[in-house]
Structure 1
Amino acid sequence: MATTIHRPVTHTHVVKAARTPADYVWAVARIALGWIFLWAFLDKTFGWGLATPAAKAWINGGSPTTGFLKGAGENAFGGFFSSLAGQVWVDWLFMAGLAGVGLALVLGIGTRVAAGAGTAMLLLMWAAGLPLETNPFVDDHIVYALVLVGLALTGAGGTLGLGGLPVVRRTPWLK
């Protein structure tokens, strides 16, 4: 009779696949889209005069949601979105979302969570704009949401980001 000897594995070596050009394209897309969210947060907070004048900055008492949501009043879901405009909890949730999604994407940590939260925010902004003026279905909010889904599915935080750190790789919600 043959005897099988089982030996414990004492050393394993994981070979990391080489980065492809597509990995770098997704990483740059991640950082660029993260910057869009982060810039929106910074401009609405401080009113640096590009999209938000200083007088309407959040730190000067302005509401970061009022202009956009009040403008949705005549659209398909306008009554719902107009009722949210200027509410403190909506402003805080919106700004936390912009900052959180932006930082996560730029740093490459929590890319999956950021992609989910960012997609939800973008779909709500898309719905607030219905019906669309220049296209019956697709606008930049939908395109950005699709890019966020792609970032989550490709693990884009590991290239040119901190997503490759061992603690991030071991912790599923940080991926």
Structure 2
Amino acid sequence: MLTKTAARALAVLRYATGFVFLWAFADKTFGLGYSTPSAKAWINGGSPTKGFLANVDVGPLQNFFHTIAGTWYANWLFMLGLLGIGLALTAGIGLRIAAASGTLMMAGMWLAEFPPAGSTNPLIDYHIIYAAVLIVLALAYAGHTWGLGRSWAKLPFVRRNRWLI
């Protein structure tokens, strides 16, 4: 059982993590100038995956990541993942799907940088921490506090398909 304070702390963590994903989506889509200049925005013909994946210069999957860098399917899957995970977290619904897909996305990004270059830890970096956060939020039903998770879980379709919680 979570205390009310712990449930609220998890809700804050859920919103903050959701904002990380939504911000990455918005910056890569519109080129807000933080990590993506407007000239390289997705709406201006830029590729949200090419810069990261084409510059992978370490690890056993280097050639694979170079092959998919900038492809239409990598761009669309990445951007839909950022948007979907961000929306699910901020709304507090579908946290199991968000945790599974977000963990898969973070694992892929971790592998693209493996071994973590310039890291003080050869195994754990922010990708692993984000994946752990996503899993904890889903397992703790963090969408029930300050979110739509409780109402979502009562929908007949969701009750029949518990993996949608």
- Common fold by TM > 0.5: yes
Q: How far is the alpha carbon of 1:164 from its aligned partner?
A: 1.6
Equivalent in the alignment of 1:14: none
Matched AA of 2:36: T
Which residues of structure 1 form unaligned runs of 5+?
Answer: 1-16
**Residue 148 of structure 1 corresponds to which residue in structure 2?**
134
Matched, 1:35 2:19: yes
Moved over 4 A (4+): none
Task: State whether residues 47 and 57 of structure 1, in contact with CA within 8 Å, keep that contact through their aligned partners in structure 2.
Answer: yes
Asked if the contact 1:76/1:131 (under 8 Å) is kept, the reply is no
Distance 1:80 1:120 in 2: 16
Q: Distance in 2 between matches of 1:19 and 1:109?
A: 21
**Cα offset, 1:76, TM superposition:** 3.0
C-alpha distance in 2 between matches for 1:65 and 1:89: 10
TM-score normalised by the chain length of structure 1: 0.86
* SS state at 1:41 partner: helix
Residue-pair matches, total: 158
1:85 maps to what in 2? 69
TM-score by length of 2: 0.91
Verify the 8 A CA contact 1:54 1:60 in the aligned structure 2: yes
What amino acid does structure 2 have at the position aligned with 1:96?
L
Backbone CA RMSD of aligned residues: 1.5
* 2:160 is the alignment partner of 1:168: no
Amino acid at match of 1:128: A
Counting only pairs closer than 5 Å after superposition, residues 24-173 of structure 1 correspond to structure 2 as 24-133=8-117, 134=119, 135-165=121-151, 167-170=152-155, 171=158, 172-173=162-163
